[in-house]
Structure 1
Amino acid sequence: MDKQELLNIIKTKITDKILSFESLIDETRASNNDTKSSMGDKYETGREMLQQEINNLQRQLNESLNQLSVIRKISAEPSDKVQTGALVKTDKGLFYVTVSAGEIISGSQKIMTVSAESPLVKAMLGKKSGEEFLINNIHQKITDIW
């Protein structure tokens, strides 16, 4: 498994999200400016709803920026135990301990990106190939770590 390629895929995915959020914020701000009027409370309510949407988008943008910051610090070096930056194969799936960015496809492999803060990673943190762990009453065995 080429972990550097996987990191690049995740960086691209997060960068695309950041650009999308920035664009949505700009569009929503433009809409907010369009609704300025002295027509009464109805427009003030609409403007407040748009402001809440901008705040929500800004929060999501900040989360994505934080994810990008974390990704930039992750090394593609091989790991011998489960830790941040490890690519872990269990009998139930393939997991990349980075940030939670959803599923990525590399070749014919489906890889779930998971945050080090997730319950799954906390259950297998520090374990090595061949060890087992339990999460949600499901036993999993680590078969390989890169």
Structure 2
Amino acid sequence: MGSPNELIKPRLHHLCLAYVQERIDACQAAIQAAQESANSETKSSAGDKYETGRAMAQNERDRNAVQLQQARQLLGELQRIHPELCCDTVRPGALVHTSLGWFYISISAGKLVVEGQEYFAVSAAAPVAAALAGQRVGGQVTFNGKSVQLLAIW
């Protein structure tokens, strides 16, 4: 077996998948709740109140449908990453140890903790990932006015 960090990438990937699934589930529940709210609106003598309630429910459904689509796009991005593969350059799927900390180049899922160590799941489009893109171990880039050293890549 390889280094312990090779075992961390699949765990980080799993946490990212769980993050996306949570977003998908929340959006679907919100869409369902908005639909039920719209369906339960009863036509009152004040027709404007009924129409306003239905319009608000439709807006809520639309907003959550957009968020659901975005979450599904994140899921697609994750499904294209194979965490078991080792990387020699910074690219999607790479676990990168820098002088700034640890980064899993995947999706923007924020801080993840595995075995007490903090990792940051960032998309390839994130400024820090864009600055590091294509670099190899030993490389150095400037990010936010700071020199960043690449210590290791898996």
* Aligned residue number for residue 104 of structure 2: 96
Identity of aligned residues (%): 32
What amino acid is the match of 2:65? Q
Residue pairs, 1:45-124, within 5 angstroms = 45-76=52-83, 77-124=85-132
Deviation for aligned residue 1:43:
2.6
Q: Is 1:17 matched up with 2:28?
A: no
> Aligned to 2:137, what secondary structure does the other structure show?
coil
TM-score of the superposition, structure 1-length normalised? 0.93
Q: 37, 51, 66: which one pairs with 1:31?
A: 37
TM-score of the superposition, structure 2-length normalised? 0.88
> Aligned to 2:57, what secondary structure does the other structure show?
helix
Q: 124, 133, 138: which one pairs with 1:125?
A: 133
Deviation for aligned residue 1:46:
2.3
C-alpha separation between the residues in 1 aligned to 2:128 and 2:122?
Answer: 8
Q: Which runs of 4+ in 1 moved over 2 A?
A: none
Cα deviation digits, residues 16-63 of structure 1 (max 9, x gap): 221121111101110111124142212312221221111111111111
C-alpha separation between the residues in 1 aligned to 2:111 and 2:91?
Answer: 19
What amino acid is the match of 2:72? L
* Aligned residue number for residue 8 of structure 1: 14
Report the aligned-residue RMSD.
1.3
Gaps of 5+ in 2: none
Gaps of 5+ in 1: none
